[in-house]
A and B are shown apart, each in its own frame.
Chain A
Amino acid sequence: MSHLRRPAPRELQPISFAFSPENMEKAKKIIAKYPEGRQQSAVMPLLDLAQRQTEGNWVPTVAMDYIADMLEMPAIRVYEVATFYTMYNLAPVGKNFIQVCTTTPCWLRGSADVVKTCKQELGIDIGETTEDGKFTLIEVECLGACVNAPMMQVNDDFYEDLNADTTKSILEALKKGEKPKAGPQIGRKGCEPIEGPKVLKAFCGCGAADQSADASEGEA
């Protein structure tokens, strides 16, 4: 199991945690979504908020305690949630947190190349962070974008339809501090067939010419 799924050593754990004023506002809004007496349900969005606020994109133990206090629940119940969901990092990660999917569909479509490129370009192995703290690379199970396999997630963005070259160019852009365009990297818009849309063309903005053909097909 990745070290990110274990609590960071004591020397990395901050001494205190509190939401910033903006996040506090957001937290209050989140909590207000749940009925009276069910505020504990806000634990997941609040953990996410805490993770986004924390330098290193992770949830320190004090932040979990803070949320437990805020929602009036035992701290262990927050620990249980934070350790269960892999989206919560329990130890600091690099500025660009790269999660490459290696589950079967991505693997069949060449995720091994993507992983290999990442390792080469970043000079780190899976589960490691670059020395400058810019990149952390991990391998993950299915992220639900199989139609656009292979894919990887960098922070909140999915980069899909990858191959060694596109992976490389994305990493290079990230290294320069740029933010490459997220989504499919082969000109696809979403998850339509690679050769272009086959149905419902009228609604995907693929040209009026095809529309009549579709309509006549429908009539027939």
Chain B
Amino acid sequence: MPKLTVDGIEVEVEAGATVLQACEEAGKEIPRFCYHERLSIAGNCRMCLVEMERAPKPVASCAMPAADGMVIKTDSDLVKKARTGVMEFLLINHPLDCPICDQGGECDLQDQAMAYGCGSSRYAEKKRAVKDKELGPIVKTIMTRCIHCTRCVRFSEEVAGVGTMGAVYRGEDTEVGPYIEASINSELSGNLIDLCPVGALTSKPYAFTARPWELKKTDSIDVMDAVGSNIRVDSRGSEVLRVLPRTNDDVNEEWISDKTRYAIDGLKRQRLDRPYVRVNGKLQAVSWDEAFAAIKAKVSGLDGKKIAAIAGDTVDCESMTALKDLMGKLGSPNLDCRQDGSKIGGPRASYIFNSTISGIDEADACLIVGANIRAEAPIINSRLRKRWRSTTGDFKVGIIGESWDTTFKHDYLGAGAETLSAVLDGKSEFAKVLEAAEKPMIIIGMGALNRDDRDAVLATARAIADKFGMVTGEWNGFNVLHTAASRVGGLDLGFVPGEGGLATNDILDAAAKGDVEVVYLLGADEIDMSKLDKAFVVYQGAMGDAGAQAADVILPGAAYTEKNGTYVNTEGRAQQGWRAVFPVGEAKEDWAIVRALSGALGQVLPYDSLDAVRSRMVELSPVFASLNAVTKAEWADFGKAGDMKPEGFATPVRNFYMTDPISRASVTMAKCTEAFVKDAAAEKVA
């Protein structure tokens, strides 16, 4: 551990740390453009120059390894002069069009020019101009502003795993871009915008929308997939304008997917802003009381067994708690939070990502079963790539299921159950890899679990986990990858059929037959609505999607940006997001709607505040008592041995950009679908 002195302060840093990191350790701020903690070191912007004793000239601190006995000065006149010189060079070709630049106000170059700019330029010659690049529907380019820090080049190569960006040509002709016209075909491309320290890469959908100082910033949790990415929602007035990542090393590091970032424009379209009741086949706008009255008229006196509830994919835990309790009061055991029909549940270890996302960093072999991780959870895919690229030993990946475009080297083993059995029996080559691995893991996706033979698949997967030592005292490499933000929370709360209750598909069948008369859809849109023709459908949600079309009563709820909500991600990590804006029109927070309805039905739920609901959640599951943490789940027996169907595992996400009502309503996501998804029209149906 080298010890060095920074401005007279002695610091000790880890071996392999850079001088820049040592300076930060000493509390000194070092200006930088090209250096980024999560990318490789380029050392080309020269902004981080510091003075080092016995060195003939200033050194780039980001690329200089810290060594014992170094004496560093970060605030000497020499340093100031050197950085001012670098800044002057950087500004030679920079257009200084800050007033019309979207980066203005959050621009590293702007900020650092305040500290190191020399106020005027000595450069009288013509500035160079660079042709803008067309990078697709997400990233807007104004390449003249580029200072060649190559952060975008390193990100696309290292994290996203798509070699689109490069630094082409040379010297003063250097340009950053793809050389040939090519969009950045990555689910993580939006992160380039955050990474760009200047206004060269900015957000296309957000262009000329707002200045950063106008925005209210609210911490929230993403619901577009089951990763639970930590996000910051930027809003102005009643409008959500953009979503940015929040750093959480255990979950999303510093990245978010393009869907997380850009689906929010869907929140402005097809919103349910007031209650509706269907009268003579047509939906009519009514007041809340009238809507509740309509439900009461149908429900009162009805046998609880004839009532059912299905929760959708983006629902918060608070509203599921309220609805579960209401169903209990109405005497209905028919409730399900798995609208895709996957009957996962039971012991907690059987339905969460036990190794945790950061656990991927430690794994040394991974078997992926029935999951197109790149489409289902791009953030986890980037984590797998990070592990694969890291130098801490080999990371072998085997894939069973549909073949998909990974961003890491892998062995494609086969399409379905047969291959899975072969791995278990040791007939597959990959069995040897798992055997040799110290910390092997299996990731089993919904593609393998939303089938009728799920119990057998689960049992086989469990057997593989046992056989290859995936579950030891410390390490649990049995992982289920969910696609829905609400799923694990629903399972933790027990939003599943009670004694003698029906699960999603049975509810639908019973409704088609008329055995179930009232179906309460809590944001559930991805089910077969044609089976609900006979039933009285109550739809509670924010978006006018399939569920609202089939509804007899619509109760307008809040979108995830409009409520304080708790979500449990695929790891089983409970996280809370805050309300950024108020719900549109007459819409209300969802748990409050259910609470109000319970009053109207004469079955008053015993909570009047968010805190009270959350206490109830803790009663239902201790998971909600320890927020932001993953509680280790007890390894248990689950699954049921049996015959597995020969069909290959089909991934449930056909189009990454459109998976839920919000992203389906989003214009940006529609553009991305058009640009990046092959057979977009065909896949939209699926």
User: Contact: B166 with A77, CB < 8 Å?
Assistant: yes
Q: What distance in Å separates the Cβ of A7 from its nearest Cβ neighbour in chain B? A: 7
Contacts of B164 in A (CB 8 A): 76
Of A15-23, A30-38, A79-87, A188-196, the stretch lying at the interface with chain B is A79-87
Contacts of A73 in B (CB 8 A): 163
Give Cα A1–Cα B163 distance, bound, in whole angstroms: 26
Give Cα A5–Cα B168 distance, bound, in whole angstroms: 10
User: Contact: A74 with B169, CB < 8 Å?
Assistant: no
Contacts of A77 in B (CB 8 A): 163, 166
User: Contact: A5 with B166, CB < 8 Å?
Assistant: no
Q: Which residues of B in the span 178-237 have a Cβ within 8 Å of any Cβ on A? A: 178-180
Q: What distance in Å separates the Cβ of B24 from its nearest Cβ neighbour in chain A? A: 31
Tell me which of A5, A61, A75 contacts B169 (CB under 8 A).
A5
Q: What distance in Å separates the Cβ of A17 from its nearest Cβ neighbour in chain B? A: 14
Give Cα A86–Cα B163 distance, bound, in whole angstroms: 23
Query: Contact string, A147-178, partner B, CB cutoff 8 A, digits 1/0?
Result: 00000000000000000000000000000000
Contacts of B173 in A (CB 8 A): 1, 5
Give Cα A77–Cα B156 distance, bound, in whole angstroms: 12
> Is B4 on the interface with A (CB-CB < 8 A)?
no
| Contact flag A74-B180 (CB < 8 Å), given A83-B168, A83-B169 | no
Q: Which residues of B in the span 145-191 have a Cβ within 8 Å of any Cβ on A? A: 157, 162-170, 173, 178-180
Give Cα A73–Cα B178 distance, bound, in whole angstroms: 15
Write the chain A residue with the least CB distance to B177. A76
User: Contact: A76 with B179, CB < 8 Å?
Assistant: yes
Contacts of A61 in B (CB 8 A): 179-180
| Contact flag A79-B168 (CB < 8 Å), given A7-B180, A61-B180 | yes
Q: Which residues of A in the span 1-58 have a Cβ within 8 Å of any Cβ on B? A: 1, 5, 7
Contacts of A83 in B (CB 8 A): 168-170, 179
Tell me which of A1, A74, A86 contacts B157 (CB under 8 A).
A74
**Size bracket of the B interface:** 10 to 19
Q: Which residues of B in the span 554-602 have a Cβ within 8 Å of any Cβ on A? A: none
User: Contact: B165 with A76, CB < 8 Å?
Assistant: yes
User: Contact: A80 with B167, CB < 8 Å?
Assistant: yes
Contacts of B169 in A (CB 8 A): 1, 5, 83-84
Q: What distance in Å separates the Cβ of B468 from its nearest Cβ neighbour in chain A? A: 28
| Contact flag A76-B166 (CB < 8 Å), given A7-B180, A61-B180, A83-B179 | yes
Write the chain A residue with the least CB distance to B172. A1
Write the chain B residue with the least CB distance to A75. B163
Contacts of A75 in B (CB 8 A): 163
Write the chain A residue with the least CB distance to B165. A76
Q: What distance in Å separates the Cβ of A126 from its nearest Cβ neighbour in chain B? A: 17
Write the chain B residue with the least CB distance to A68. B163
User: Contact: B179 with A79, CB < 8 Å?
Assistant: yes
Give Cα A7–Cα B181 distance, bound, in whole angstroms: 11
Query: Contact string, A62-81, partner B, CB cutoff 8 A, digits 1/0?
Result: 00000000000111110110
Contacts of B163 in A (CB 8 A): 73-77
Give Cα A1–Cα B172 distance, bound, in whole angstroms: 10
Contacts of B165 in A (CB 8 A): 76
Write the chain B residue with the least CB distance to A6. B169
Contacts of A79 in B (CB 8 A): 166, 168, 179-180
Q: What distance in Å separates the Cβ of B299 from its nearest Cβ neighbour in chain A? A: 60
Contacts of B179 in A (CB 8 A): 7, 61, 76, 79-80, 83
Chain A interface, DSSP helix/strand/loop, else mixed: helix
Contacts of A80 in B (CB 8 A): 166-168, 179
Contacts of B167 in A (CB 8 A): 80
Give Cα A80–Cα B156 distance, bound, in whole angstroms: 15
Chain B CB within 10 A, most for which of A73, A83, A86: A83
Give Cα A7–Cα B157 distance, bound, in whole angstroms: 23
Contacts of B157 in A (CB 8 A): 74
Contacts of A84 in B (CB 8 A): 168-170
Give Cα A77–Cα B163 distance, bound, in whole angstroms: 8
Contacts of B170 in A (CB 8 A): 83-84, 86
Q: What distance in Å separates the Cβ of B98 from its nearest Cβ neighbour in chain A? A: 28
Q: What distance in Å separates the Cβ of A148 from its nearest Cβ neighbour in chain B? A: 26
Q: What distance in Å separates the Cβ of B499 from its nearest Cβ neighbour in chain A? A: 57
Q: What distance in Å separates the Cβ of B149 from its nearest Cβ neighbour in chain A? A: 16
Query: Contact string, B352-389, partner A, CB cutoff 8 A, digits 1/0?
Result: 00000000000000000000000000000000000000
Give Cα A76–Cα B166 distance, bound, in whole angstroms: 6
Q: What distance in Å separates the Cβ of B182 from its nearest Cβ neighbour in chain A? A: 9
Give Cα A196–Cα B170 distance, bound, in whole angstroms: 41
Give Cα A77–Cα B164 distance, bound, in whole angstroms: 9
Give Cα A131–Cα B163 distance, bound, in whole angstroms: 39
Chain B CB within 10 A, most for which of A74, A75, A76: A76
Contacts of A74 in B (CB 8 A): 157, 162-163
Contacts of B168 in A (CB 8 A): 76, 79-80, 83-84
Q: What distance in Å separates the Cβ of B120 from its nearest Cβ neighbour in chain A? A: 29
Q: What distance in Å separates the Cβ of B343 from its nearest Cβ neighbour in chain A? A: 43
Contacts of B162 in A (CB 8 A): 74
Q: Which residues of B in the span 588-621 have a Cβ within 8 Å of any Cβ on A? A: none
Query: Contact string, A103-122, partner B, CB cutoff 8 A, digits 1/0?
Result: 00000000000000000000
Contacts of A76 in B (CB 8 A): 163-166, 168, 178-179
Give Cα A84–Cα B174 distance, bound, in whole angstroms: 9
Chain B CB within 10 A, most for which of A61, A74, A86: A74
Give Cα A80–Cα B157 distance, bound, in whole angstroms: 13
Write the chain A residue with the least CB distance to B153. A76
Q: What distance in Å separates the Cβ of B156 from its nearest Cβ neighbour in chain A? A: 9
Query: Contact string, B419-461, partner A, CB cutoff 8 A, digits 1/0?
Result: 0000000000000000000000000000000000000000000
Q: What distance in Å separates the Cβ of B393 from its nearest Cβ neighbour in chain A? A: 15
Give Cα A79–Cα B163 distance, bound, in whole angstroms: 11
Q: What distance in Å separates the Cβ of A101 from its nearest Cβ neighbour in chain B? A: 18
Give Cα A61–Cα B169 distance, bound, in whole angstroms: 14
Q: What distance in Å separates the Cβ of B674 from its nearest Cβ neighbour in chain A? A: 23
Q: What distance in Å separates the Cβ of B180 from its nearest Cβ neighbour in chain A? A: 6
Contacts of B178 in A (CB 8 A): 76
Give Cα A64–Cα B180 distance, bound, in whole angstroms: 11
Give Cα A1–Cα B166 distance, bound, in whole angstroms: 19
Give Cα A84–Cα B173 distance, bound, in whole angstroms: 10
Q: What distance in Å separates the Cβ of A171 from its nearest Cβ neighbour in chain B? A: 30
Give Cα A7–Cα B177 distance, bound, in whole angstroms: 14
Give Cα A80–Cα B162 distance, bound, in whole angstroms: 15
Give Cα A7–Cα B180 distance, bound, in whole angstroms: 8
Write the chain A residue with the least CB distance to B173. A1
Q: What distance in Å separates the Cβ of A137 from its nearest Cβ neighbour in chain B? A: 20
Give Cα A73–Cα B166 distance, bound, in whole angstroms: 13
Q: Which residues of B in the span 495-543 have a Cβ within 8 Å of any Cβ on A? A: none
Give Cα A40–Cα B505 distance, bound, in whole angstroms: 54
Q: What distance in Å separates the Cβ of B177 from its nearest Cβ neighbour in chain A? A: 9
Give Cα A33–Cα B166 distance, bound, in whole angstroms: 27
Q: What distance in Å separates the Cβ of A91 from its nearest Cβ neighbour in chain B? A: 14
Q: What distance in Å separates the Cβ of B44 from its nearest Cβ neighbour in chain A? A: 14
Give Cα A53–Cα B42 distance, bound, in whole angstroms: 35
Give Cα A86–Cα B170 distance, bound, in whole angstroms: 9
Give Cα A190–Cα B165 distance, bound, in whole angstroms: 45
Q: What distance in Å separates the Cβ of B685 from its nearest Cβ neighbour in chain A? A: 33
Give Cα A79–Cα B167 distance, bound, in whole angstroms: 9
Q: Can you spell out 17 A-B residue pairs with CB atoms less than 8 angstroms apart?
A: A1-B169, A7-B179, A61-B179, A61-B180, A74-B162, A74-B163, A75-B163, A76-B165, A76-B166, A76-B168, A77-B163, A79-B166, A79-B179, A79-B180, A80-B167, A80-B179, A84-B169
Q: Which 8 A-B pairs have the closest CB atoms?
A: A74-B163, A76-B166, A79-B179, A83-B168, A80-B166, A84-B170, A76-B163, A83-B169
Extra contacts besides A5-B173, A80-B168 (6): CB < 8 Å:
A75-B163, A76-B166, A79-B168, A83-B179, A84-B170, A86-B170
Query: Which chain A residues have a beta carbon within 8 Å of chain B's beta carbons?
Result: 1, 5, 7, 61, 73-77, 79-80, 83-84, 86
